[in-house]
Amino acid sequence: MRSNLSEKEGFAALVLRLRADGVSDKQMLLAVEQTPRSLFAPPAFVDQAYAPRTIPIECGESMEGADLALKMLHLLELEPGQRVLEVGTGSGFTAAVISRIVERVVTIDRYRTLSKLAAQRFSHLGFSNIVVETRDGQERSAQEGTFDRILVTAAFEEMPRTFAERLVSGGKLIAAIGSPDQPQMLVKLTKIGSRFEREDLFPVRFQPLLPGCAAVL
């Protein structure tokens, strides 16, 4: 287990890097400070929990580097009272941070193992406003309704219109667009009435969004 001192040092170093990139969202940073990232990292990588590098996790998936994860949350412009959909639960860290700010989080993953482990972490930390589901993230549940914010930690080959339509007016979606073997761009879509404004943010490299639930794991 990472010591409290190392946890504080890792968080402090992360804050300095984020500020250098123009990210100084006090509400979000407080939520991160209250959510020890080392609890979401595999034991072999606990010392790198706050590093900018990608960390491998179960099921052949990965945990985005701390810097990228928090830049995406900053760009979502999270506010109290919002409903947020996250596609790609992974370790559960981003859903945990989001849940400290907003009213409700629905997080989806195609791997049962990842969903189960994330749910255990949420329970251990006392979160009660996160719904964890194992299902195809591209399919819309009749019960889920619409969202103020959507975060997809996977890449689409073209504009994810079906996801954008789940947004309320004024809602925002963050996702990557581009094929697996081509440059990808992280984009922000803002819904204004029946149209969408697109803002290209910066290059990223994500795995493509795969259909269905994983047959194994």
Low-confidence spans in the chain with pLDDT less than 70: 1-5, 141-143, 215-216
pLDDT at 143: 66
Model pLDDT, residue 2: 54
pLDDT the model gives residue 179: 86
As a whole number of angstroms, the distance between CA 217 and CA 96 comes to 22
**Model confidence over 120-143: pLDDT tens digits?**
999 999 999 999 999 887 777 656
pTM of the model: 0.93
Give pLDDT, residue 214.
Answer: 72
Q: What DSSP string describes the chain?
A: ---HHHHHHHHHHHHHHHHHTT---HHHHHHHHTS-GGGTS-GGGGGGTTSSS-EE-GGG-EE--HHHHHHHHHHHT--TT-EEEEE--TTSHHHHHHHTTSSEEEEEES-HHHHHHHHHHHHHHT--SEEEEES-TTSPPTTT--EEEEEEEEEESS--HHHHTTEEEEEEEEEEES-TTS-EEEEEEEEETTEEEEEEEEEE--PBPPPS--S--
Q: Which domains does the chain have, with CATH numbers?
A: 54-204 (3.40.50.150)
